[in-house]
Amino acid sequence: MSHDKKSSAPFVRESTGLVKSVSALDVLAFTLLAAGPLVLIPLGVLTLPSVYEGSSLLVIFGLSLPILIALAFNTVALSSTMPRAGGDYVFGSRIIHPVWGMIPSFMALFSFVVGIGTLSVLMLQAFLGPAFLTSYPQTAPTIVQVIYTSKLDLLTISALLLLLVFGLAMVSNRVWFWFIRVLSLIAFVGVLVLSFYLFSTPHATLVHNFDTQLATGFNTSQVYANATASGWNPTLSGSPLTTAGAMVFVFFFLAAPISAYFAGEIKNTLRSMSVGVMGGTLVSWVIAAMGVAAFFVGFGYRFLSAYGFEALVNPSTATSGAFSVNALVLAAVANPNTAFFIGLGFFLAVLGLVAAPILPASRILFAWSFDQLIPKAFASISDRTHTPIFSLGIICALTIIVAALDTYLSSVLGSFLATTLIVAIAFLPNGVTALVLPFKAPSVFQTAPLTVKRSIGRLPLITLTGLIHTLGLGAIILLVFLNPASAGTSTGTLSAGALGVVLAGLVASIAFYPVARAIRRRSGVDISLAFKEIPPN
C-alpha cells in the first residue's frame, strides 16, 4: 500500500479482508440497541422532567423526529452509495476533504471509548444494583459490597463484561450479532410488559403501591416535601435553550447512524440499511415516546419531576442511588419478580449500548489505517475470523482503562465528560456531506442507487434531507453552547472542563490529517493520493 513519492499513479487498493455477513435483521437489532430507546426510557423519566423541567415532551420528541428521519436517510443514502468500512470518515474525506472525514470519525471514536468505559460501570451501579436491591432487598449486603463499596469488585465485573463483548466481536461478526439480537429481544419484552402495566394501572393504585412499598424510604408526600425543601421548583417553564439541551440528551439515545461505519460488511446495503437504520430509527422513536409517555400517564409529570430531582439533582439523595426507576417499576407491576425481569431488561439494554460502538470504533481505526493515517497493524484482518482483532484489542484496552478511571476517579472525571454533546457534534458533518453530494461529487452521485437519486422537482432529495439534518442539529448544538447550564448531559450542565474537552477534541480532529500527512511525507509517502479513490468494500 506504499506509494513512490515521484509516481503519479493512484494507490492500488487491496481487498480489505472484511466479508459481507451482516443482515437487515442484524442492522435492525443493532440500531435498536445503538440508538438506546430502551435506555432513554429509564433515564429520560428521571432526567427530562427534572433537569429540563418545564420543557414539553411533545415538542422535544416532535421536533426530534424530522431531524432523526433526515439523519437516518442520509446515513442510508451515503452508505449504499459508498458501502465502505469507515462510514462517515470515507464519506466526508472523499466528497469534501480528508479533514471533514476526520471530524466525525475522531469525535465519534472518542465518544465510543469514553462511553463504553463509563457505561460499563454505570450499568452496574444504576441498573443492575437497583434491580436487585428493589426486588430482593435480602441481597443488599452482597450487592452493596460488590457494586457500591468495593471498587476492585466493581472494576473486575466491568472489565469481565467488556472482555466478553469484545471477545465475541473478535470471534466472529455472526456470534456478536446473535448476542445483540438476544439482548434486544429481552429488553424489548421487558418494556412492553412495563408499558402494559403503566397504561392499565390507575394513578391512585400506583401512588398506593409506591407509598406502601417504601423502596426509596420516602412516600409520595415526602418526595414532594424533601424535593421542595432542597430547592425543587415545580413551576419552572421551559425555553428554547432548555429544550435544545433536552433534545441533545434525546438525540444521544435515538440517533443511530453508526452502522455506516461497517457498511462494507452489510449484505444488500440499501435494503438492509433501509430496514435497519430507517426502520430502526422510527421504531426507536416510537418505543421511547411510548415508554416515557407511559410513565407520565401513570405517575404524572409533577411527581416525576420531584422524583427525578431527588435522583439526579438533590445532593442529599442523589448519591444514595435509592431514587432509581426500579422503585417506580415495582409500584407499577407490584410483583418483585416481574419488576426484576424488567430491571434486568434495562440492564441488558445498557449492556447492548455498551456493545454497540465496538464494531464502529474498530472500523474507524481500520479505515484510518487503510489510508495510512495510522500504523498498518490497525488494518490487519484475521484470516480465520475475518475481524480486525488488533484494532478490537486496542479499543478493549482503552475502554478498560476508562472504566478504571471512572471507578476510582468518577468525582473528578464527571465534570470533564460531555459525551452527549460530542456525539451530536460527531453526527453533524454527515448532513453537510449529504447536502453537497450531488454538486461536489456528481460522478459518485450518478452511481448511487435510484432511491438516493430521487428529486423533488429539481432539488435532489438528499440535498433537502442534508439541509434538514445540518440546520436542525446545528441549531440545537448552537443553542447548547449559548446556554451551557442546559447542555444535554445527565446533570444538564456543561462545565468549563467538559467544554474544554469538547473544544480540544475538535481541534485534535482538525489537526489529525495535516499532522499525519506531514509525518508520512517524511518517509516518502503522499497519503493525499488515497483520497482520490474510494476504497474497496
In this structure, are residues 536 and 85 in contact, taking their beta carbons and an 8 Å threshold? no
pLDDT above 70: residue 413? no
pLDDT (tens digit per residue) in 111-149: 899 889 988 998 998 899 999 999 999 999 999 999 999
Model pLDDT for residues 258-308, shown as the tens digit of each residue: 899 999 899 999 999 999 999 999 999 999 999 999 999 999 999 999 999
SS3 state at 508:
helix
Question: Please, what is the average pLDDT of the chain?
Answer: 87
Distance CA 123, CA 298 (A): 25
Give dist(CA 391, CA 176) in Å, integer: 16
Confidence at residue 492, expressed as pLDDT on a 0 to 100 scale: 56
Q: Are 461 and 78 in contact (CB under 8 A)?
A: no
Residue 2, pLDDT above cutoff 50:
no
- What pLDDT is recorded for position 373? 93
Q: What is the pTM of this model?
A: 0.88
> In this predicted structure, what is the pLDDT of residue 4?
39
Q: How much is the pLDDT for 231?
A: 87
Q: What crossing angle do the helices spanning 57-81 and 429-440 adopt, rounded to 10°?
A: 40
Cβ neighbours, 10 Å, residue 459: 11
Kindly list the structural domains of the chain, giving each domain's residue range(s) and its CATH number in brackets, ordered by start. 24-532 (1.20.1740.10)
Q: Find residue 455's DSSP bridge partners.
A: 460
**Considering only CA atoms, which of 404, 311, 422 is closest in space to residue 118?**
404
Kindly tell me the burial class for residue 482, based on how many C-beta atoms sit within 10 Å of its own C-beta (0-12, 13-18, 19 or more). Answer: exposed
**Cα–Cα dist 339/326, whole Å:** 7
